[in-house]
Amino acid sequence: MLSSHTQQSESPESIETMLGIIQQKEPERWIARFFNNFQHELPGGYVRDAQDMDQLTQERHASNFKKTLSCGEFYSHIDQALEKYHVDVGRVRQLFDMIRQSPKSKHPEIQAEIDATKKLIASMRAMGLSDKEISEIYIIPPSEEEHQERVAELWKILGPVYTDLRALGYSHYDLTGIMPNQV
């Protein structure tokens, strides 16, 4: 059972403030930016297979709370929160992958490639190719509506897990690898 550790816990208001800042900075990719490496802390993630497990709880920027725990305890808290909300980790990974195919980018050179790909796909459709045929050659970027649906689904799945873990005493860095000044 998850128990509360109040010394370092964050209020829902401070989590909402952090979300607002990230959403303003990167409106198209805020969720991937917010959760950053959190998916790698989930079962099957590469961080769980790290060779030096003690280093994970003794990271320089880890919260005092995380530093008091073994890696087993840290991952047990994550697993308990996932179980509490019946999270399908496979679906979470799938959503992260799909969100990374965002229909927009703040980087001009990447946006130019996205725009060129969209034009090429439109040309292929005009030539009579089906989306199935096109998807064998290119990843078809999602529409803005599809992208927003994926973002909403990912937040609906991971938001409560993240909030519970923060209430236990974990910092944003403990869970995502992002320092507060990087938000």
How far apart are alpha carbons 72 and 75 in whole angstroms?
5
Under a CB-based contact definition with an 8 Å cutoff, are residues 164 and 81 in contact? yes
Report pTM.
Answer: 0.71
Question: Can you tell me the distance from the alpha carbon of 111 to that of 64, in angstroms, rounded to the nearest whole number?
Answer: 41
Whether residue 150 is contained in a domain is answered as yes
- Looking at residue 13, its pLDDT comes to 66
Residue-level pLDDT, tens digit, the chain, 183 residues: 454 444 445 565 677 787 778 778 777 667 877 888 888 888 888 777 664 555 555 677 888 898 888 888 999 999 999 999 999 999 998 888 777 766 565 667 766 777 787 788 888 889 998 877 877 776 666 777 888 888 889 999 999 999 999 989 999 889 988 776 665
Q: Which domain holds residue 88?
A: 12-103+142-176
Residues, the chain, total?
183
Residue 2 domain-assigned (yes or no): no
> Is 56 part of a structural domain of the chain?
yes
User: Residue 124 falls within a domain, yes or no?
Assistant: no
Look at the chain and report how many structural domains it folds into: 1
Note whether residue 158 is domain-resident: yes
In a domain, 41, yes or no: yes
Q: What is the CA radius of gyration of the chain?
A: 19
pLDDT of residue 144: 77
In a domain, 87, yes or no: yes
Domain annotation covers residue 154:
yes
Query: Which single residue is written with the structure tokens 């959190």?
Result: 38
Helix axis angle for 144-168 and 71-84, nearest 10°, is 130
